[in-house]
């Protein structure tokens, strides 16, 4: 597996990481813990060194899973986790007060079985706490040796600038794929300017870009996609035009649609590291194979030209969640 550096930070990780959320949160019932630990070990065997989780996934059980799986590899893997979202009465609440961040980091260190968190993201910006205050607390945690690098998830560019001015950010995490190209407008230019890495989640459009989801798709109640406008039947039908485009290119290059979708993300910038998630070994191998798929400058140009003519139907979040991003 090739390696990439996240911006100017010097933090080097595998070119494709593994998003672990879906193993126990967000996409239906949690999978068998032993099977998921085995899958994480197989990812390591195939060169993955970068694993993404969060305090709120579960809550807590995803960090425990990742901690148990990576315990035999202590100090050799890069673990990213997140603070700033708490569960209260079954609802997600933004909470980044200094004392809460300190509670969160202690809990994450214990569950992940590590002495230091490699990359610590604020999961969502808390409008009630100035970002400078958050950055100051994380800076203290870095000084204390509890955190090595920090980042923000789904933050707006002005917040990124303000946070970076207090203590340099290593990475920003946000959704990015052929289906959601909004980061290209403002975010990517600012990250390039400041020397911050980019870690796209949902680079396969929450599974849609694999070509295996159509208007007849159904999801269990605990699958987040049930409430996502983009996954309503009419929108799934409208957006098949994007899948068809990807499938056509995949057929020409004799690879899978998922590999084209991931190769496209990788081709945008050398400091972009996508973190597709999966519960299946065959999907893991397929995703990691995308690192070997090269899109020529002409192929990339033609593809971007075709993508610009496709209008995606349906928002990526319901209103309740959309209001928390880009702050």
Coil/strand/helix, residue 200: strand
CA-to-CA distance for 117 and 81, rounded, in angstroms? 8
State both tokens at 128: 């009630």
| Catalytically annotated residue among 57, 120, 121, 176 | 57
Q: Measured between alpha carbons, how far apart are the two ends of the chain, in Å?
A: 35
Q: Tokens 């579960």 correspond to what residue?
A: 58
Active site residue 57: yes
DSSP code per residue over 25-81? SSBSSPPPHHHHHHHHHHHHHTT--EEE--TTTTTTHHHHHHHHHHGGGTTTSEEEE
For β-strands 50-52 and 18-19, DSSP reports them as: parallel
3-state helix, strand, coil in the chain (%, to 5): 45, 15, 40
Coil/strand/helix, residue 171: strand
CA-CA distances (angstroms) from residue 22 to 29, 235, 278?
9, 23, 7
Residues labelled catalytic: 57
């Amino acid at each position: 597996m090739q390696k990439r550096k996240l911006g100017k930070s010097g933090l080097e990780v595998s070119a494709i990481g593994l998003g672990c959320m879906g193993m126990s949160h967000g996409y239906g019932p949690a999978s068998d813990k032993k099977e998921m630990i085995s899958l994480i070990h197989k990812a390591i065997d195939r060169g993955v060194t970068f694993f993404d989780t969060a305090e709120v996934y579960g809550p807590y059980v995803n960090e425990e899973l990742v901690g148990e799986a990576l315990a035999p590899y202590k100090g050799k893997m890069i673990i990213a986790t997140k603070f700033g979202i708490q569960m209260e009465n079954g609802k997600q609440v933004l909470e980044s007060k200094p004392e809460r961040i300190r509670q969160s980091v202690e809990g994450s260190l214990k569950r992940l079985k590590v002495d230091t968190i490699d990359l610590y993201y604020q999961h969502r910006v808390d409008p009630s706490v100035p970002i400078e205050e958050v950055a100051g607390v994380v800076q203290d945690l870095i000084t204390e040796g509890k955190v090595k690098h920090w980042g923000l998830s789904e933050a707006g560019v002005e917040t990124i600038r303000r946070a970076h001015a207090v203590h340099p950010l290593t990475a920003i995490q946000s959704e990015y794929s052929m289906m959601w190209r909004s980061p290209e407008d403002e975010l990517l230019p600012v990250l390039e300017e400041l020397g911050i890495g980019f870690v796209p989640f949902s680079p396969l459009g929450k599974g849609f870009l694999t070509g295996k989801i159509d208007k007849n798709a159904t999801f269990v109640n605990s699958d987040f996609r049930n409430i996502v406008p983009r996954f309503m039947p009419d929108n799934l039908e409208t957006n098949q035009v994007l899948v068809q485009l990807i499938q056509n290119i995949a057929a020409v290059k004799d690879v899978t649609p998922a590999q084209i979708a991931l190769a496209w993300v990788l081709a945008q910038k050398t400091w972009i590291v996508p973190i597709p998630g999966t519960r299946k070994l065959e999907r893991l191998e397929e995703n990691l194979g995308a690192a070997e798929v090269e899109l020529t400058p002409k192929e990339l140009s033609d593809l971007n030209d075709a993508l610009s003519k496709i209008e995606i139907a349906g928002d990526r979040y319901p209103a309740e969640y959309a209001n928390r991003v880009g702050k």
